[in-house]
Structure 1
Amino acid sequence: MLPARRFLPSLSLLAAFEAAARTGSITAAAKELDLTQSAVSRQIKALENQLGIELFLRERQTIRLTIAGESYAREIRDALQRISTASLNLRANPKGGTLNLAILPTFGTRWLAPRLGAFLSANPGITINLVTRLRPFDFRLESIDAAIHFGQPSWPGGELSFLMKETTLPCCSPAFKAMHKLDQPADVLDVPLLHLATRPDAWERWLTHCGVPFESVTGMLFDQFATAAQAAIGGIGVALLPVFLIQEELRRGQLVPAIDREIESRECYYLAYPKERMDYPPLAAFREWITAEIGSTETGRPDLVATG
């Protein structure tokens, strides 16, 4: 439900206030908006009267934001930018619409991006905007329609569509494996292990799965798989990596299994979205496409997606 009308100032009043707040000048705001200085001053005063709050301190020929004005200006600037972006997207795609999709960095670059052309060809009126998000967020606070989620089947305030499972494999460079004579699972305790910040217990789970006793597991910490994979290729240590994301490195021999023991992750990949956006046409089309794409990949090209 929209707030009461008295709390919804007109765009002209908000635009005048935002321009003056950003430039710190009624004159500069008037020039930017192609209005007279008196017109901008009247609009700002009308906004203050409507809100019942003083937004500027007026000192002779200068203006300065009040504390309340500074906070309001930040909020208004974000809102106006979202309205502008939405209007541009609608103008560019009046029939298809736009899907703002949050992606996990490595999944987005390695798996999704190479396949997006097929989706766009099949849905020529849709535009996809990609942004990176590593962790769940509140859909109500961001102009994002959906997100690729890896984790447990939960997302505060969101619906989830299952995409796929994941299998990880300890990998390193061929030279690193030869140098350290890696053969048995317990051998990894004698070499540097590379850890992912988002999966702090991955190595513990792998060692337990292999029946290897241990007291503690330490090593370098990375926030993205791509960086950890490059570190492993560079001979820094052994990384537990998703099999479906490192196929090219394995094919080229840049990476090899340090120990040929895969483990299925507890978490899975999902498409998350707010319930009220479930039937939004670009989202519905993308959800149908990615589900089918993963299904055909798993059945037709099992080398690209390992599901355990």
Structure 2
Amino acid sequence: MAARKLPSLNALRAFEASARHCSFTLAAQELHVTQGAVSHQIKALEEELGLPLFERLPNQLRLTRAGQDYLVAIRDAFDRIERATGHLRTPAGRQRLAISCSPNFSSKWLVPRLGEFTAQHPHLELRLEQSERHANFVRDDIDVAIRYGVGPWPELECLRLGDECLVPVCSPSLPAMRSAHELAAATLLHVHDQRGWSDWFLAQGLAAPDKASILFNHESASIDAALAGQGVALARSSLVALALRQRTLIAPFAPGPALAEAYWMICPRNGKDEEKLALFADWLRRSVEADRQFRAAGYPV
């Protein structure tokens, strides 16, 4: 087999860093070399390829069209090398499972239950990344992601984690609430805006109370506030399932109808390491089913 005709690895690293920073100087700082060395490596790479990769403008460095196309391929190659290296560095006898999920799902559903999963599968070494952006399984070195939305999505294996609904929850330390009018007198905890509670009261044939309230930008924070007795949160059922089972929260009113959106486990089709993904999927199914059965039996009020 003939030797591969590849450019210098150092030149490719210089190109990728320069393209990412749009600066030879910043690339040099990252790579711990001089700016002149980076410029020389890029020039040699361009000469080898026979075309320019950058437009060198006054006080600006910009990729050419060829440079943009080349960057996509180089980044993908580097991502694959980094992923393969990470797998080799996993201790002998263990497999690594990298999971990406939102901060809300991570803190209120997954993390409190992870001990159960690791006890059942001690050969798996878990890495958890909190993220709400679209999962790039190669670039981010992720095996499986959990995302909220209206699935399924093409080109991905998708497992719907049960139905989702909104349920009013509060600490059992708060005074008992038996009607929507009594609830309107309580402190309401909102997420992003007041639309959720407005829709809930509208469904009861009432207008939402016009008074001061507390507004959060993360649902997990509103649930924490409810746990602390600061008011009543309108939360997704999965995120408060464990707290309701442990009776650190109660549900003074019935859950709302099923939402179109739900949490989904997603991963690439025909991916590697199907066994560890199957183990995780099976554990998710059983855990979600336990939550569903508890909800069907009636939440504590």
TM range (shorter): 0.5 to 0.7
With over 3 angstroms needed to count, the CA separation of the structure-2 counterparts of 1:240 and 1:82, relative to structure 1, is same
- What is the CA–CA distance in structure 2 between the aligned matches of 1:10 and 1:237, rounded to whole Å? 61
Q: Are 2:77 and 1:87 equivalent residues in the alignment? A: no
Residue 155 of structure 1 aligns with which residue? 153
Alignment of 1:166-245 (within 5 A): 166-173=164-171, 177-178=174-175, 182-197=177-192, 201-209=195-203, 211-214=204-207, 219-243=213-237, 245=239
1:141/1:54 Cα in 2 relative to 1: closer, same or farther (>3 Å)?
closer
Paired position in structure 2 for 1:33? none
1:294 aligns with 2:288: yes
Deviation of the 1:136 alpha carbon = 4.7
Q: Tell me what 2:264 maps to.
A: 270
CA contact (8 A) 1:170 1:260 kept: yes
Question: What is the aligned-residue RMSD (CA, Å)?
Answer: 4.7
* 1:144-170 CA-partner distances (Å, limit 9, x unpaired): 332212332333643321222245431
Matched position secondary structure for 2:45: helix
Q: Distance between the aligned counterparts of 1:9 and 1:216, measured in 2?
A: 67
1:1-308 equivalence runs, <5 A: 9-17=7-15, 21=24, 22-24=26-28, 28-29=32-33, 43-49=41-47, 50=49, 52-53=51-52, 55=54, 66-68=61-63, 82-83=79-80, 85-93=82-90, 97-134=95-132, 136=134, 142-155=140-153, 157-173=155-171, 177-178=174-175, 182-197=177-192, 201-209=195-203, 211-214=204-207, 219-243=213-237, 245-246=239-240, 255-257=249-251, 259-266=252-259, 267-277=261-271, 280-295=274-289, 302=294
Q: 1:162 and 1:206 mapped to 2: Cα distance?
A: 25
Percent identical pairs in the alignment equals 26
Q: CA shift at 1:194, angstroms?
A: 2.0
Matched residue type, 1:164: G
Give the residue type in structure 2 aligned to 1:291.
R
Letter of the 1:53 counterpart? P
Could you say if the C-alpha distance between residues 187 and 88 of structure 1 is closer, same or farther in structure 2, counting changes exceeding 3 Å? same
Cα 1:251–1:154, aligned 2, differ >3 Å: closer, same or farther?
A: closer
Q: Indicate how the Cα distance of structure 1 residues 172 and 112 shifts in structure 2: closer, same or farther if over 3 A, else same.
A: closer
CA distance in 1, matches of 2:143, 2:292: 26
* Alpha-carbon offset, residue 142 of structure 1: 4.7
Once residues 122 and 261 of structure 1 are traced to their aligned partners in structure 2, the CA distance between those partners, rounded to angstroms, is 34
Question: CA, structure 1 residues 128+225, in 2 after alignment: closer, same or farther (shift >3 Å)?
Answer: same
Q: Deviations over 1:76-105 (max 9, x none)?
A: 996576346413322123776543321132
Q: Go from structure 1 to structure 2 and tell me whether the alpha carbon gap of 1:283 and 1:151 turns closer, same or farther (over 3 Å shift).
A: same
Q: Secondary structure at the match of 2:147?
A: strand
Which consecutive unaligned segments of at least 5 residues does structure 1 have? 31-36, 58-63
What stretches of structure 2 of length at least 5 have no aligned partner? Answer: 19-23
Aligned residues: 283
With 44-53 and 290-299 compared, the bigger mean Cα shift is at: 290-299
Distance in 1 of aligned mates of 2:156 and 2:270:
9
Q: 3-state SS of the aligned residue for 2:63?
A: helix
Q: Which residue identity is paired with 1:148?
A: I
Distance 1:204 1:75, change over 3 A: same
Contact 2:156/2:268, CA 8 A, preserved across alignment: yes
- Superposition TM-score, scaled by structure 2 size: 0.67
User: Residue by residue, what CA displacement relative to the aligned partner does 1:264-293 show, whole Å, maximum 9, x if unpaired?
Assistant: 431333212233438744323322332234
TM-score computed with the length of structure 1 as normaliser: 0.66
Distance in 2 of aligned mates of 1:100 and 1:291 = 18
Q: Distance in 1 between the 2:50 and 2:187 partners?
A: 60
